[in-house]
Amino acid sequence: MHVRGDRQGIISLAAADAFLLQAALMGCIAFETHPSRYRHWKLDVQGEIATLGMQVAEDGGLVPGYALKLNSYDLGVDIELADAIQRLRFSHPAVRALVITSLRDRVFSAGANIFMLGQSSHAFKVNFCKFTNETRLYLEEMSRESRIATLCALNGTASGGGYELALACDEIVLVDDGAAAVSLPEVALLGVLPGTGGLTRVVDKRRVRRDRADFFSTTAEGVRGQRAAEWSLVDEVVPRSRFQVRVRERAEALARSSDRPAGATGIELPPLRRREKEDGVEYGHVALAIDRARRVATLTVRAPREQQPTSPEELLRAGAEAWAIAAWRELDDAVVHLRLNEPESGLVLLRTEGDAETVLAVDRGLVEHRAHWLVREILLLQRRVLKRIDLTARSLYALVVPGSAFAGSLFELVLAADRAYMLADEAGANAVALSPLNHGLLPMSSGLSRLEARFFGQGERVATLLAHAGPFGAAEALAAGLVTFAPDELDWDEEIRLAVEERAAMNPDALTGMEASLRFVGPETLETKIFGRLSAWQNWIFIRPNATGEKGALTVYGRAGQRPEFDWRRT
Amino acid sequence: MHVRGDRQGIISLAAADAFLLQAALMGCIAFETHPSRYRHWKLDVQGEIATLGMQVAEDGGLVPGYALKLNSYDLGVDIELADAIQRLRFSHPAVRALVITSLRDRVFSAGANIFMLGQSSHAFKVNFCKFTNETRLYLEEMSRESRIATLCALNGTASGGGYELALACDEIVLVDDGAAAVSLPEVALLGVLPGTGGLTRVVDKRRVRRDRADFFSTTAEGVRGQRAAEWSLVDEVVPRSRFQVRVRERAEALARSSDRPAGATGIELPPLRRREKEDGVEYGHVALAIDRARRVATLTVRAPREQQPTSPEELLRAGAEAWAIAAWRELDDAVVHLRLNEPESGLVLLRTEGDAETVLAVDRGLVEHRAHWLVREILLLQRRVLKRIDLTARSLYALVVPGSAFAGSLFELVLAADRAYMLADEAGANAVALSPLNHGLLPMSSGLSRLEARFFGQGERVATLLAHAGPFGAAEALAAGLVTFAPDELDWDEEIRLAVEERAAMNPDALTGMEASLRFVGPETLETKIFGRLSAWQNWIFIRPNATGEKGALTVYGRAGQRPEFDWRRT
């Protein structure tokens, strides 16, 4: 079943059933927004310190059926948060610290809205959690790499996803008023896990002792006051009378350690050039084409067609129109659109078009000037987009044909793909190329570069490849292990057709699990633990009758007089 | 529902329904066996080299309903394999290399029996996979730590779990006869994952390039001949005419690098002292008591009551009667019994009894003589049992009361527990103690000691604790962070009652996911990746309708004229 709403999200009233309604509205979730249009957050920039104030509009849910009380959130709230983080990085280079707080009295956030979760499909729940996890990780990356440190000022209780948002900040200050607590009530109240990295961050990041974490994570009311600080659940508890002053002090201290440039001017991030069509989305440099009958999407990225800025000054002048920003913002949008709005396109064919030399020239400029704040942000943007692709639960085949531009930063798409097919053309024109950007500036979540992951444990081989001058023809690329198969012109069509058909016919769940295992070879990080271990468990729990069955804990939550019933068999 | 068979596995014929039948038979799965009783393997020891030949009895399934054709296996086959590995270590100290092969012509193994999986409950599938994963990891640990290297001689096709068994060996030799292949057909044929670490081992251990691994893991017929060697799926392919000679050569080469003692005599592993009762199992040093109404198990380990052997010579004389072996074999049996035969006991109370000093004396002897082959095996046995506890999906509370013996190796039970309650008795007699065994000789799957995991990133604190002389009273233990709570005599009963009742009332699935996240803080290893990432995904896939629904791939496999039907939404 595939139901699509129109572009404004207005759907036929005949689709009254909640599932249809949601599926219809899911067809047009938009990921673009702007601070002037935020309904749930207020972004306030005062010199070095920015404040993001949460004040979720109760009636501002993305779909009907639930009220966003007590600063609980849905995907729409998180889309605004992700937007604010992105804009702080690009548009506010003078900001050196961010305070996240609530604009409501005595409540920080009640976390993900339970009734929203209860009415959502499994696929939506999983993708909602993935998006919010990415946003939390962006906060951590922003602190570590962009040097905008983060402080969460808990002026009231933070529950579940609300506390998980705090956990993603560098520091947490909790008001000590005898009432405000931090809690992860999911296990005890809802029969599911905290879905946004909470368990992992409590023990791995904040190093809360595991037995205390066990007590905390099974105690619905949470922990408050001195015990919260003693257990390292927060960094400090402060009486209400001194709260604002103390938050300010700590934010200023955080700001002092930043290397962000005083007095620099940022760049605006204008709306994307984006045109939604019946069978896909057309952007300035990117195209997403959906073949619904075959359940195959084709994602094409075009190399720059015009002379690109290379110096920081030129990049500042060009702003978000620069290919290095525009194409990657578009790619990011296409990927999240695919995830949420095109759930049945299980296989994505990755293509590029244009002049590889122009990509390599852009790469060279970025590498040369990578110490400049804006260039740093551009590289981080590309890194995030590529990570988002690694973490997308779709099969990825890269198709390298003559006229493509799989070079440097765009060659990362080949390295991100589950397989790469390269046409061994008679003319010998088909080629791929590496650039210094493949040398670790665009790492995966595991911390490895995609080349390192591909040749895991073979450091010398990676070094030899990076030292290779010039492009690789099909035979060379195959011999070097840069592509999987290199069929000739006679075989190409049939081989691709078969590979596509076979893949699109397999159990999509098994493919998701398989890809998550094969893509992330080698070391695990907090990030991969969250997406691998924690999310996999959460997905399992979400689909079990004990959570989402008729008598499941998530299903009956909030229903008067109903209590969950469990199958007690442990697995 | 809880159906129990009698002790011989003979059940009432009224329980004809397959699920009841299985549940009933599950009530008496026995984990003890002996080479003289093997139905599926032949263990042949010739000097330095042992050979395990697989010849699965088609009619030897653990429960009715499937035939174990083509060396496919069920839990019963794996119980024998685990037994053989254990006996090689203890009873055959002169063995320096193990060859695993098939005694059938032209087939190595078809992997886990699909019809067995198809008729099994979710809880059984998950626990079956966990047990087989542990057995595979024992092979790897046996090679690394006991220095019995392993060679898998694939004299025919190895599919799915059959190939996964090969992957757990140090080397794989495949016959090159134009037909024999290695394959992981699960994704393509069954819509599930290879469940025994296959994906992780292919990329992380054997370092097969991820795009080749992708092709391999989605190609039902697998890969054979030179390509299998070129892709590193096997180490060598050898024509049938030279196969036996080459296998022998390689096994001899592996044996040469071992440090196992020539001419040493091993110890026998006699049947456990084990008495099954209606409400549990009573062993010589261990007792498992099941309170089915409350769904709570109590697992008690008693300290030695008699003078224990300490020197290697004494240990050799005492053999498996020594507490350091007997108690831990019993504990291991109790844990797997709990997992498979008592699925509803969601909370396990860990208790000890006896004189802590006798435990510490045993520990001292083991640490002093740890270079001796038998002492090494004893320490490895204890390590495996403790890992098995970490990996058991039950909530664990340690209860430390006067008269208990939570010291040294037995204190690891406190460290393995999700929480520890210690009675702050007025007399001040209640105590716990550390020994050098807590110093890293009994590591978790993550490679950390349980103390290191508890105080993650606080190396100095761990060092201070290990330097502490003498026992810790309740107040001291609480201050040191060795226990979670230390209620006094007034509060004890009520606090324990509440903690037990609350835990036993929560969604068991959510607890499983939570515990798997909180227990394994810090680094990930191949082992934790298999149990965390891979198993979590597999559990999810197993419960999804696409695999086990009415039209799921696993359900309809082998049914003439039926094809799976999938919900195509990707998550």
**How remote is the C-alpha of A466 from its chain's centroid?**
29
Does any CB of chain B come closer than 8 Å to the CB of residue A92? Answer: no
Which residues fall within 8 angstroms of residue B499, CB to CB, at 6 or more apart?
B397, B419, B421
Chain A residue with Cα closest to B483: A211
Q: What's the whole-number mean pLDDT along residues A185-194? A: 96
d(CA B255, CA B332): 29
Confidence of residue B555 (pLDDT cuts 50, 70, 90): very high
Does any CB of chain B come closer than 8 Å to the CB of residue A244? Answer: no
Instruction: Look up the pTM and report it.
Output: 0.95
CA distance readout (Å), B344 to A275, B1, B558: 55, 9, 32
Higher pLDDT, A492 or A571: A492
DSSP for A392-460 reads -SSEEEEEE-TT---BGGGHHHHHHSSEEEE-B-TT---EEB--GGGGTTS--TTSS-HHHHHTTT-HH
User: For residue A26, what are its two tokens?
Assistant: 């899911």
Handedness of CA A60, A62, A67, A73 (dihedral sign): negative
d(CA A61, CA B126): 38
User: For residue A474, what are its two tokens?
Assistant: 């099909």
Q: Is the pLDDT of residue A494 over 50?
A: yes
- Nearest neighbour of A534 by CB, restricted to B122, B517, B541: B517
Partner residues linked to B297 by β-bridges: B290, B348
Confidence of residue A571 (pLDDT cuts 50, 70, 90): confident
Q: Is the pLDDT of residue A24 over 80?
A: no
- When scoring A2, A164, A214 by the number of chain B Cβ atoms within 10 A, the one with the most, hence best to mutate, is A214
Q: What's the whole-number mean pLDDT along residues B305-331? A: 97
Confidence of residue A17 (pLDDT cuts 50, 70, 90): very low
Does any CB of chain B come closer than 8 Å to the CB of residue A418? Answer: yes
Cβ atoms of A150 and A139 within 8 Å: the answer is yes
The DSSP H or E segment spanning A52 is: strand A49-54
d(CA A451, CA A420): 14
The DSSP H or E segment spanning B287 is: strand B286-291
Query: For every residue of A14-37, which 3-state class applies, written as one string?
Result: CCCCHHHHHHHHHCCCCCCCCHHH
Q: Is the pLDDT of residue B566 over 90?
A: yes
Per-chain mean pLDDT for chain B: 94
Q: Is B265 exposed, middle or buried (0-12, 13-18, 19+ CB in 10 A)?
A: exposed
Q: What is the pLDDT of residues A374-400, one digit of tens each?
A: 999 999 999 999 999 999 999 999 999
Q: What's the whole-number mean pLDDT along residues A489-516? A: 97
Residues 191-230 of A with CB under 8 A from B: 191-193, 199-200, 202-204, 207, 209-215, 217-218
Q: What is the pLDDT of residues B506-537, one digit of tens each?
A: 999 999 999 999 999 999 999 999 999 888 99
* pLDDT > 90 in chain B, percent: 93
d(CA B373, CA B364): 16
pLDDT at residue B11, as a whole number: 32
How far apart are the CA of A536 and the nearest CA of chain B, in angstroms? Answer: 5
Confidence of residue B120 (pLDDT cuts 50, 70, 90): very high
Which residues fall within 8 angstroms of residue B26, CB to CB, at 6 or more apart?
B124, B340, B341, B343
The DSSP H or E segment spanning A199 is: helix A198-200
Confidence of residue B28 (pLDDT cuts 50, 70, 90): confident
- When scoring B214, B217, B483 by the number of chain A Cβ atoms within 10 A, the one with the most, hence best to mutate, is B214
Q: Which residues in chain A touch residue B220, judged by CB atoms under 8 angstroms apart?
A: none
What's the residue count for chain A? 571
Chain B residue with Cα closest to A418: B211
User: For residue B300, what are its two tokens?
Assistant: 């008690």
Q: Is B124 exposed, middle or buried (0-12, 13-18, 19+ CB in 10 A)?
A: buried
Interchain pair A537, B519: CB under 8 A: no
Residue B272 has φ and ψ, to the nearest 5°, of -70, 150
Q: Which residues in chain A touch residue B515, judged by CB atoms under 8 angstroms apart?
A: 214
d(CA B99, CA B50): 6
Q: Is the pLDDT of residue B18 over 50?
A: no
Cα angle B214, B216, B217 (rounded to 5 degrees) comes to 65
Q: What is the pLDDT of residues A272-318, one digit of tens each?
A: 999 999 999 999 999 999 999 999 999 999 999 999 999 999 999 99
Interchain pair A533, B514: CB under 8 A: no
User: Do the bridges between strand B97-102 and strand B49-54 make them parallel or antiparallel, or are there none, so unpaired?
Assistant: parallel
Q: Is the pLDDT of residue B5 over 60?
A: no
Burial of B359-378, coded b for 16+ CB within 10 Å and e otherwise, reads bbbbbebbbebeebbbbbbb
Q: Can you tell me which residue has the tokens 């804009």? A: A87
Locate all alpha helices (DSSP H) within B369-486, ordered by sequence: 373-390, 411-416, 450-454, 459-467, 474-480
pLDDT at residue A11, as a whole number: 32
Q: What is the pLDDT of residues A56-85, one digit of tens each?
A: 999 999 999 999 999 999 999 999 999 999
Confidence of residue A534 (pLDDT cuts 50, 70, 90): confident
User: Do the bridges between strand B347-353 and strand B395-400 make them parallel or antiparallel, or are there none, so unpaired?
Assistant: parallel
- Nearest neighbour of A508 by CB, restricted to B126, B456, B546: B546
Closest alpha carbon to B283 in B355, B332, B343: B332
How far apart are the CA of B524 and the nearest CA of chain A, in angstroms? Answer: 6
Q: What's the whole-number mean pLDDT along residues A466-471? A: 95
Does any CB of chain A come closer than 8 Å to the CB of residue B434? Answer: no
Which residues fall within 8 angstroms of residue B25, CB to CB, at 6 or more apart?
B5, B9, B11, B62, B63
pLDDT at residue B534, as a whole number: 87
Q: Can you tell me which residue has the tokens 């702080």? A: A88
Residues 134-173 of A with CB under 8 A from B: none
* pLDDT > 70 in chain A, percent: 95
Cβ atoms of B122 and B559 within 8 Å: the answer is no
Q: Is the pLDDT of residue B39 over 50?
A: yes
Confidence of residue A15 (pLDDT cuts 50, 70, 90): very low
Closest alpha carbon to A301 in A320, A284, A280: A284
Q: Can you tell me which residue has the tokens 């390269």? A: A422
d(CA B134, CA A39): 51
Cβ atoms of B315 and B309 within 8 Å: the answer is yes
Confidence of residue A27 (pLDDT cuts 50, 70, 90): low
Cβ atoms of A512 and B546 within 8 Å: the answer is no
Q: What is the pLDDT of residues B370-395, one digit of tens each?
A: 999 999 999 999 999 999 999 999 99
Does any CB of chain A come closer than 8 Å to the CB of residue B571? Answer: yes
Which residues fall within 8 angstroms of residue A314, CB to CB, at 6 or more apart?
none
Interchain pair A507, B541: CB under 8 A: yes
Q: Is A271 exposed, middle or buried (0-12, 13-18, 19+ CB in 10 A)?
A: exposed
- When scoring A533, A539, A543 by the number of chain B Cβ atoms within 10 A, the one with the most, hence best to mutate, is A533
d(CA B216, CA B184): 7
Q: Which residues in chain B touch residue A519, judged by CB atoms under 8 angstroms apart?
A: 210
Interchain pair A507, B191: CB under 8 A: yes
C-alpha Rg value of chain A to the nearest Å? 24
How far apart are the CA of A300 and the nearest CA of chain B, in angstroms? Answer: 20
User: For residue A547, what are its two tokens?
Assistant: 């959570």
Q: Which residues in chain A touch residue B509, judged by CB atoms under 8 angstroms apart?
A: 191, 540-541, 544, 546-547, 571
How far apart are the CA of A154 and the nearest CA of chain B, in angstroms? Answer: 24
d(CA A388, CA B161): 32
How far apart are the CA of B339 and the nearest CA of chain A, in angstroms? Answer: 8
Cβ atoms of B393 and B344 within 8 Å: the answer is no
pLDDT at residue B16, as a whole number: 35
Cβ atoms of A290 and A280 within 8 Å: the answer is yes
Closest alpha carbon to A407 in A348, A361, A464, A375: A361
Q: What is the pLDDT of residues B476-485, one digit of tens each?
A: 999 999 999 9
**How remote is the C-alpha of B133 from its chain's centroid?**
7
Q: Is the pLDDT of residue B356 over 90?
A: yes
Handedness of CA A328, A132, A108, A151 (dihedral sign): negative
